[in-house]
């Protein structure tokens, strides 16, 4: 597994999601590819660790299989890396958006599926606790039938959306929003994490992956270097 290529793939699929948003068919397709690439990055860390610690795992690798092999060989340095990694991994996934992507990666790994996605309207310039509003549009073969139909539904729901969000913003001394300052985005829910904007969460997750790779490589080098 080439980790750098997998990270590049994440960036490519993110661009594709942005290009096709909010069409749920294409967003779902490219988000699935993004999640697969993210999983490849995480697995790639342990492929490199397997090589550098000399565990000789020949089957498809994972954190669990790496730790099991390290314990069976009583490789204390490999065990130490496993313990360090899981602590680092948990730290990187404490915040809401990385936590959501982690859960989606796990769902894709275990059941080869993604949570359902939904189209919502939101303010272009976001403030904390801004509301988003789901819009229901007709689909043909899971694709948007037309941009015109989407716009009709946006216009239908816009007055209520603006009233609610501006009421919230007024109470918080935040700038109001007008009809030219809203957009559509694709969101999803996963377990206890709701209304995750796919593009925004994916943008945040790529640096998480990069940090995990860079710091894992440093830790592996530290543990495998001769004193």
State whether 17 and 82 are in the same domain.
Answer: yes
State whether 35 and 109 are in the same domain.
Answer: yes
State whether 17 and 126 are in the same domain.
Answer: no
Burial of 33 (0-12, 13-18, 19+ CB in 10 A): middle
State whether 18 and 104 are in the same domain.
Answer: yes
> CB neighbours of 37 closer than 8 A, spacing ≥ 6?
6, 7, 9, 10, 13
Instruction: Please report the pLDDT score of residue 226 as a whole number.
Output: 73
Instruction: Please report the pLDDT score of residue 1 as a whole number.
Output: 67
State whether 28 and 97 are in the same domain.
Answer: yes
State whether 74 and 185 are in the same domain.
Answer: no
The SS3 of residue 9 is helix
State whether 37 and 102 are in the same domain.
Answer: yes
State whether 68 and 180 are in the same domain.
Answer: no
User: Domain containing 162: what range?
Assistant: 117-194
State whether 208 and 103 are in the same domain.
Answer: yes
State whether 9 and 99 are in the same domain.
Answer: yes
pTM of the model: 0.93
What radius of gyration do the chain's Cα atoms show?
A: 21
State whether 109 and 137 are in the same domain.
Answer: no
Number of domains in the chain: 2
- CA–CA dist 184, 186 (Å, integer): 7
Residue 112, Ramachandran bin (φ over 0: left; ψ between -120 and 50: alpha; else beta):
left
Alpha-carbon separation of residue 183 from 21, 83, 141 (angstroms)? 11, 43, 24
State whether 62 and 85 are in the same domain.
Answer: yes
Instruction: Please report the pLDDT score of residue 227 as a whole number.
Output: 53
Least Cα distance to 126 among 65, 80, 187 occurs for 187
Per-residue pLDDT of the chain (227 residues; tens, 9 = 90+): 699 999 999 999 999 999 999 999 999 999 999 999 999 999 999 999 999 999 999 988 989 999 999 999 999 999 999 999 999 999 999 999 999 999 999 999 999 999 999 999 999 999 989 999 999 888 888 888 888 899 999 999 999 999 999 999 999 999 999 999 999 999 999 999 999 999 999 999 999 999 999 999 999 999 998 75
Alpha-carbon separation of residue 190 from 21, 106, 197 (angstroms)? 20, 11, 11
- CA–CA dist 76, 70 (Å, integer): 7
- CA–CA dist 182, 215 (Å, integer): 39
């Amino acid at each position: 597994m080439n980790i750098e290529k997998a990270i590049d793939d994440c960036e490519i699929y993110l661009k594709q999601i942005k290009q096709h948003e909010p069409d749920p068919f294409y967003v779902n397709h490219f988000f699935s590819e993004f999640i697969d690439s993210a999983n490849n990055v995480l697995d790639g860390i342990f492929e490199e660790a397997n090589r550098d610690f000399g565990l000789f795992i020949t089957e498809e690798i994972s954190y669990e299989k790496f730790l099991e092999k390290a314990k069976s060989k009583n490789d204390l340095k490999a065990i130490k890396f496993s313990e360090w990694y899981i602590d680092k991994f948990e730290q990187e996934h404490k915040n809401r958006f990385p936590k959501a992507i982690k859960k989606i990666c796990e769902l894709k790994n275990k059941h080869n599926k993604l949570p359902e996605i939904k189209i919502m309207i939101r303010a272009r310039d976001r403030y904390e606790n801004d509301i988003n509003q789901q819009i229901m549009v007709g689909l043909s073969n899971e694709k948007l039938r037309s941009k015109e139909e989407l716009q009709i539904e946006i216009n239908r729901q816009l007055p209520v959306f603006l009233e609610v969000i501006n009421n919230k913003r007024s109470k918080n001394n935040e700038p109001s929003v007008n009809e030219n300052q809203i957009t559509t985005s694709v969101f999803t829910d996963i377990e206890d994490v709701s209304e995750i904007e796919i593009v925004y969460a994916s943008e945040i997750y790529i640096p998480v992956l990069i940090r995990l790779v860079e710091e894992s490589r440093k830790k592996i080098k530290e543990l495998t270097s001769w004193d």
